[in-house]
């Protein structure tokens, strides 16, 4: 392997000068600079980032820790974060936490070990207290859903407001027998063993708020977070009280499973039941029927996240920020009642 020393010897300068010519950290005379760069080119030298990192105490890489990449939402989020960091000149790598406490602790540990200069984490398994403690050593932005003690930068989704708006739409369209799919109870204090618990509890709270004082009946079902889980929820609804006339799903993924399983039972959307999802993943526009969904402003989410992390890396002392991004309710076929 060609090292900086080899280049220096070949060019007849010191390693320092090679380093300076390459990084531009200190000025180098133009002829020397040209000579060095030519030699670098000729020998095919490439800087050893491990050595640089050890010396500098930082790697120039930020970590992105998400529960899983096997999810339309989190894979897209990771993609957008990578893009945005790249545009601001920062390399990033993605790590899966499997939504587990252990996986999330590992992400913090990897950051602290100089592997990353900063961390964006969609934390689902850790408690607020644990995040507070772990984030002391590492510049971190927490994405998502927890209600933290304001000791760490936090960018969250419009869970309550978005869910409330979605549910209001169902009420406005005349629904009087609603179902909440994806959270086991209408009381958001009920704990959910699923790690997405906190986010989904807030969406359940929005659902319940919209119902307050309306006298509209509602049931809650939960079977997991996948499309198959959405299908299972429909079976549970059918078994326990028949078909509702409106369904709010805490994610689009669940909604796709719901619509599909309703079709398996001959129940049509929107003719017989109206359905709304949350996240507005790309597929929502392409399904048949296309899916009405709460669309959080991902551009805002990404921009704020990248900005906050860069700021915290640059100045770890700044006061933590709390951001909730805005949303739009995008109405599509799944809530357009034909002929009413």
Partner DNA sequence: CTGAAAGCGCTTACAG
What are the residues binding a second copy (CB under 8 A)? 46-51, 53-54, 59, 68-72, 75-76, 78-80, 82-83, 93-96, 109, 112-115, 227, 231, 256-257, 259-260, 263, 282-283, 285-288, 290
Strand spans (E) along 271-338: 274-278, 292-296, 322-324, 327-330
Q: Does 112 bind DNA (CB under 7 A)?
A: no
Q: Which of 24, 41, 42, 48 binds DNA (CB under 7 A)?
A: 48
Helices and strands, number each (H, E), in the chain:
12, 12
Q: Is the dihedral of CA 201, 197, 127, 69 positive or negative?
A: negative
Q: Give which of a second copy, DNA, none residue 4 binds (C-beta under 5 to 8 Å, depending on kind).
A: DNA
Which is closer to DNA, CB of 106 or CB of 216? Answer: 106
Q: Give which of a second copy, DNA, none residue 263 binds (C-beta under 5 to 8 Å, depending on kind).
A: a second copy
Which is closer to a second copy, CB of 238 or CB of 267? Answer: 267
Q: Give which of DNA, a second copy, none residue 23 binds (C-beta under 5 to 8 Å, depending on kind).
A: DNA
Q: Give dist(CA 282, CA 215) in Å, integer.
A: 35
205: which 2 tokens? 């709270």
Shortest gap between Cβ of 17 and a second copy (angstroms)?
A: 21
Q: Cβ distance 117 to 105 under 8 Å?
A: no
Which is closer to a second copy, CB of 133 or CB of 314? Answer: 133
Q: Which of 52, 98, 260, 321 binds DNA (CB under 7 A)?
A: 52
Q: Give dist(CA 284, CA 330) in Å, integer.
A: 10
* Residue 29 CA: distances (Å) to CA of 6, 37, 103: 20, 12, 50
Residue written as token pair 């906190």? 198
Q: Cβ distance 334 to 292 under 8 Å?
A: yes
Bond before 270 cis per omega within 30 degrees: yes
211: which 2 tokens? 């119902």
Q: Rg for the chain (alpha carbons), in Å?
A: 25
Q: Does 89 bind DNA (CB under 7 A)?
A: no
* φ and ψ of 271, to 5 deg: -55, -45
Q: Give which of DNA, a second copy, none residue 16 binds (C-beta under 5 to 8 Å, depending on kind).
A: DNA
Shortest gap between Cβ of 78 and a second copy (angstroms)?
A: 5
212: which 2 tokens? 């307050």
Shortest gap between Cβ of 80 and a second copy (angstroms)?
A: 8
Which is closer to a second copy, CB of 61 or CB of 211? Answer: 61
Q: Give which of DNA, a second copy, none residue 152 binds (C-beta under 5 to 8 Å, depending on kind).
A: none
Q: Does 22 bind DNA (CB under 7 A)?
A: yes
List of residues contacting DNA (CB under 7 A): 1, 3-5, 13-17, 19-20, 22-23, 25-29, 32-33, 45, 47-48, 51-52, 54-57
């Amino acid at each position: 392997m060609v090292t900086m020393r080899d280049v220096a010897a070949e060019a007849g300068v010191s390693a320092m000068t090679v380093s300076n010519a390459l990084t531009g950290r200190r000025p180098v005379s133009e002829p020397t600079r040209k000579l060095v760069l030519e030699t670098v080119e000729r020998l095919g030298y490439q800087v050893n980032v491990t050595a640089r990192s050890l010396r500098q105490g930082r790697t120039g890489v930020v970590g992105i820790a998400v529960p899983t990449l096997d999810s339309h939402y989190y894979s897209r989020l990771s993609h957008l974060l990578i893009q945005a960091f790249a545009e601001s000149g920062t390399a990033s790598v993605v790590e899966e936490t499997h939504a587990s406490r252990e996986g999330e602790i590992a992400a913090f540990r990897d950051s602290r070990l100089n592997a990353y200069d900063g961390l964006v984490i969609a934390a689902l398994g850790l408690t607020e207290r644990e995040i507070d403690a772990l984030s002391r050593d590492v510049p971190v932005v927490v994405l998502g859903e927890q209600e933290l003690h304001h000791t760490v930068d936090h960018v969250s989704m419009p869970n309550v407001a978005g869910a409330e708006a979605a549910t209001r739409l169902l009420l406005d369209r005349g629904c009087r027998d609603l179902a909440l799919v994806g959270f086991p109870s209408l009381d958001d204090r009920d704990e959910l063993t699923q790690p997405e618990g906190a986010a989904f509890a807030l969406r359940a709270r929005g659902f319940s708020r919209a119902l307050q004082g309306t006298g509209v009946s509602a049931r809650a079902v939960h079977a997991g977070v996948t499309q198959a889980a959405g299908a299972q929820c429909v079976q549970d609804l059918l078994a326990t009280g028949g078909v509702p006339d409106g369904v709010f799903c805490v994610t689009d993924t669940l909604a796709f499973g719901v619509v599909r399983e309703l079709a398996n039972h001959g129940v049509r959307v929107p003719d017989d039941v109206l359905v709304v999802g949350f996240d507005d993943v790309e597929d929502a526009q392409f399904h048949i029927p296309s899916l009405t969904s709460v669309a959080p402003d991902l551009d805002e989410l990404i921009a704020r996240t990248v900005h906050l992390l860069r700021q915290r890396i640059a100045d770890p002392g700044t006061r933590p920020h709390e951001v909730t991004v805005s949303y739009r309710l995008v109405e599509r076929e799944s809530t357009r009642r034909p002929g009413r």
